[in-house]
Structure 1
């Protein structure tokens, strides 16, 4: 392990390619597809600078405990990555594993051995997961609209309630500027990929606004090797085309001590679902439409600050499969209102108290409803050289007259033993839970109305070291964690009839997850116009099934949880030219419960180059990217091949040039 740490640290002076992974789709033969939002071809919102780690870039920074392991990407880091979707960004620059069903399939997040439904995704502090499926398709979230991202590993229910078992992803959308700003970009590449996007922002006085839009299409018809044929043949994938359109708008009013924002997001996507590579495409398709409106306000209240927010979200999902004569449309509504009061405690720290209420509805089983309410208290207490972060939240959730009350405590501690040394020790213990989704309880056929919430405890400890010089910055962090989960919800076949499997969920599993997370980030300014940056994330995860000691699966690694992942990236910038490389090394993934069958490990490398011209009228940039440079043939999920080597080009223009 010492050799591994030394190798990662070499990224400080010699940036190395970064390694990544990917998320999961819904098998529509077992349970319904997931409502999501569109892949991205984004417009960089700022001048591309070396990637840095920033603390507290979100408005609600107190919602992220400093004792937790957190990966932060600011606007410059998002732009420098070249990622077009949140799925790409997290697979390149975070320690999370992104599980993806093909290049245009569902992409969900796995952290610390937990799945997509067990990882919370927040957009401007508000939940974004569809209550029907309990997860978010990150491939349909464009980075065009994202200003910053924070990935919090581990239990987060003490602040965010249901779903934060493995971790929480905080996405902050773009903020309007009062000075005029205009961006436009377009490009394309292999497999008939085309994309165009535009953004405009400006304001006067206390008012400012922003509008943005994006259109993306691809046929996804790459070649792959079908090993199910004898002899093995190279075929062309078909039926995997995708079309997405996204519109975003925001208005802001700023007073002397107040701020109000009103935002709207609309997405419409159509995707082909070619199914597994072992079978011909049956022409299955999925249509996703999402409309979301939310508002945020900040008010002074005595010596403290009151933050108010509310959202309404409506989604429409249609799934059609001609061979099975299936054509189903479901509608889902989610609303939330939240109030938080943050109050300083003199030199001792601060305390935040809040309450939230929510209402969800889905058109399953003739219409099902869920009402929720919660209250929490979260404090940061400075008792030099210690910093304590206690928190507790109480959730009450009622679905069709069945109330459930769940407490979620958390205690974090951070120690900085030396004032003049950038060494920090930290530890955290917390409880987290996940309430069953509408699909798990009410989907027909197969739903189980009596499911209990998943419940788990997480313990972690870490150490970080930060070395800063006028021309260089190095951050090294190591975290060890352990999680115990009870009442895990698992989908299993309940019966087979005429070759059709009907799957049902049940509370059957106990899971023990433990592991190690290592990360390194470095940046060095060699000359006034030459800079190098790089970093790495390494994770080792043991996620064991502890449900039944008499089962062959007892003690086995959970399916599709790689024991090791390693991501490396490096970037060099000289004048207007930037060159970067990102790589990922992902270990075997078992797809059988008893570890008898697995997918081979894979390695991929992506290379990106960009040149930017600055002139009086603005800035013009040309970007070229080659993905899977080594031309590896691999699958993240069995029978869903990923594309071979291919290239994309993008041209973008911004005004003004600064």
Structure 2
């Protein structure tokens, strides 16, 4: 049987089972949605969520009423997914592709046919993207410190500035609780995996509370795989694939007079080996990552509105060594930002929010010129206008960047969005639409890398839009979206003929596609509950740069055309059975479309037992990853682990 037939057989065996569990019980009774226990494919339905400041708007807006598709993974989704990092969570559940350079390597998002540096990454609404490389490794972000993860699909620059061509990902940390609680988790698994986390929240005074958390994960990563570079191919063990990550987080929240204050800090240290693509190559390269960030905000009422001042300071350090190449290089970045926003109603229909922000970023690396720094300022305005069942969402943002040698770059990003309820008798039916302009300012590597950096690069530009329809009902929701965008001046590194590569504003890209999701909850006989969801994405992103080149109108590299993700959770008494499956389509690895990686299907299952002992809630779970034992690669030459198990114990006080 050839590879495509094997893939489709596994797809039927895994995905259809999960889809059937999600959607099959036609005669079942709906379960009232529970904001704590409910778990859907991408978002809790409107009745379970209070008004949220989601990434599709700075104003409090539920995902159903937003002008764009917004996926929300709440604390229940984080727990039932079993993912220890944001990379694993988004890979399992989100309507996007996570490009993974091996099990312990770099993990970056690809949303609607864009690259890692074309999606905004936010922490409690503040940018944390590395200014040198333009993205952040999602595998360094533990889920144990987070309350939720929210993904906005579509042009995000009108709201969040640079990098918003594909959308935005907003990580929301655990806030201090109004009561004392503690959560402890320990786990272990195959290939030397072990770790744990502890989160404690307490009330200090009537107006002050605090939360602190620590997370530790380590693995040997020495899993077996088939090395096709050998003749004949043989099974070998991954070498130099160990990894250790430790994180510390704390946050204090207080009220002083009318001011609502919150200050937080997060530090992460990680060490990992960087295994070679071939088992016969030397395996001695290593990498150390250190990230420290502090951020805070102050909210105070101003008349009928509210003034918010927020800021962030971040430092990162990345050391790379390879004794075989006589390399030992360390790069450092610093980022500081400050933002002020004022929200105020201006009439019975309109609420406006306006403000400005400023930031300073710099980087130091042996291969960067000494002038790797920039100043940035922005001004923005956004509104919400309600006209019966029609809500308008206009937004406009202007960004300016001041660079060395007197270089200035400007970008203006408008957006118009709407949300319409066409029928009064069906309040759960919403039609969404938006169109907007986005941009990406060149990274420090693009401008100042030696040799090759080009300080004269222009920002990448994009016009994009989408149209969608969403239906919410008592026990679930469904949403269908179609999108398209065109990018120009995309930065591409090309050979110069002088022995090095250099970036140029040359590429044009056209991307079209669609997204569909459905989630629900049902009550089954014998006291059982079933919750689940399915998400499907199709993306056709093509190079439209040079009609005379071999790459013209060919698919972009490493962008899967199709993805299907499904999950279900069956609860019966103290037992919970969770199933996850995902299909990732063919990914081209050459610009002319001549070579590709085969599609693959991954299925994971988890059995969890829950019980309360003397006021302590205890959860014991056994998770089987890659249950179908699929041999696959997310990126060429970077094998992923075979079938393996993990055991986890969780205590909640």
8 Å CA contact 2:177, 2:202 repeated in 1: yes
- When residues 246 and 58 of structure 1 are mapped into structure 2, their CA distance, relative to the original with a 3 A threshold, is farther
8 Å CA contact 2:38, 2:44 repeated in 1: no
Q: Does 1:84 align with 2:79?
A: no
1:558-581 alpha-carbon deviations (Å, 9 max, x no partner): 000011111111111122211111
- When residues 48 and 417 of structure 1 are mapped into structure 2, their CA distance, relative to the original with a 3 A threshold, is closer
User: Which residue matches 1:112?
Assistant: 112
1:131-163 alpha-carbon deviations (Å, 9 max, x no partner): 111101111100001111111011000010000
The offset of 1:496, in angstroms, is 7.0
1:431-477 alpha-carbon deviations (Å, 9 max, x no partner): 00000001111122332221111000001111111221xxxx12111
8 Å CA contact 1:243, 1:269 repeated in 2: yes
The offset of 1:334, in angstroms, is 0.3
8 Å CA contact 2:409, 2:458 repeated in 1: no
Q: How does 1:25-104 map to 2 (within 5 A)?
A: 48-51=37-40, 53-54=44-45, 60-61=53-54, 62-63=57-58, 66-104=66-104
Structure 1 unmatched runs, 5+: 16-45
Instruction: Provide TM-score, normalisation by structure 1.
Output: 0.90
Q: How does 1:484-495 map to 2 (within 5 A)?
A: 484-495=486-497
Of 382, 398, 402, the residue aligned with 1:398 is 402
- When residues 6 and 581 of structure 1 are mapped into structure 2, their CA distance, relative to the original with a 3 A threshold, is closer
Q: Does 1:430 align with 2:421?
A: no
1:583-642 alpha-carbon deviations (Å, 9 max, x no partner): 011111000001100001100100011111112241111111000000010001000000
Of 467, 470, 473, the residue aligned with 1:464 is 470
Partner of 2:608, secondary structure, is strand
User: Which residue matches 1:267?
Assistant: 268
Quote the Cα distance in structure 1 between the aligned partners of 2:37 and 2:450.
49
Partner of 1:80, secondary structure, is helix
Quote the Cα distance in structure 1 between the aligned partners of 2:392 and 2:20.
34
- When residues 58 and 560 of structure 1 are mapped into structure 2, their CA distance, relative to the original with a 3 A threshold, is farther
- When residues 449 and 201 of structure 1 are mapped into structure 2, their CA distance, relative to the original with a 3 A threshold, is same
1:236-289 alpha-carbon deviations (Å, 9 max, x no partner): 111011111100011110356431011000111111111213652431111110
Quote the Cα distance in structure 2 between the aligned partners of 1:548 and 1:160.
31
Q: CA RMSD in A?
A: 2.0
Quote the Cα distance in structure 1 between the aligned partners of 2:152 and 2:78.
17
User: Which residue matches 2:285?
Assistant: 284
Partner of 2:80, secondary structure, is helix
Quote the Cα distance in structure 1 between the aligned partners of 2:443 and 2:526.
54
The offset of 1:413, in angstroms, is 1.3
8 Å CA contact 2:18, 2:579 repeated in 1: no
- When residues 385 and 180 of structure 1 are mapped into structure 2, their CA distance, relative to the original with a 3 A threshold, is closer
8 Å CA contact 2:282, 2:324 repeated in 1: no
Of 451, 454, 458, the residue aligned with 1:448 is 454
Partner of 1:63, secondary structure, is coil
Instruction: Provide TM-score, normalisation by structure 2.
Output: 0.91
User: Which residue matches 1:482?
Assistant: 484
Quote the Cα distance in structure 1 between the aligned partners of 2:249 and 2:218.
18
User: Which residue matches 1:607?
Assistant: 605
Structure 2 unmatched runs, 5+: 1-11, 26-34
Partner of 2:631, secondary structure, is coil
8 Å CA contact 1:58, 1:172 repeated in 2: no
Quote the Cα distance in structure 2 between the aligned partners of 1:402 and 1:183.
51
1:96-144 alpha-carbon deviations (Å, 9 max, x no partner): 1000001000000001100110011100010111111110111110000
User: Which residue matches 2:178?
Assistant: 178
Return structure 1 stretches of 4+ with deviation > 6 angstroms: 4-9
User: Which residue matches 2:633?
Assistant: 635
User: Which residue matches 1:654?
Assistant: 652
- When residues 527 and 249 of structure 1 are mapped into structure 2, their CA distance, relative to the original with a 3 A threshold, is farther
8 Å CA contact 2:186, 2:197 repeated in 1: yes
User: Which residue matches 1:517?
Assistant: 515
Partner of 1:164, secondary structure, is coil
User: Which residue matches 1:39?
Assistant: none
Q: Does 1:563 align with 2:565?
A: no
Quote the Cα distance in structure 2 between the aligned partners of 1:355 and 1:563.
38
Q: How does 1:126-141 map to 2 (within 5 A)?
A: 126-141=126-141
1:503-546 alpha-carbon deviations (Å, 9 max, x no partner): 32211100000011111111113369421111111111110100
Partner of 1:113, secondary structure, is coil
User: Which residue matches 2:251?
Assistant: 250
Name the stretch that deviates more: 150-159 or 436-445.
436-445
Partner of 1:439, secondary structure, is helix
User: Which residue matches 1:34?
Assistant: none
8 Å CA contact 2:45, 2:476 repeated in 1: no
Of 416, 422, 426, the residue aligned with 2:421 is 416
Quote the Cα distance in structure 2 between the aligned partners of 1:10 and 1:304.
48
Q: How does 1:365-380 map to 2 (within 5 A)?
A: 365-380=369-384
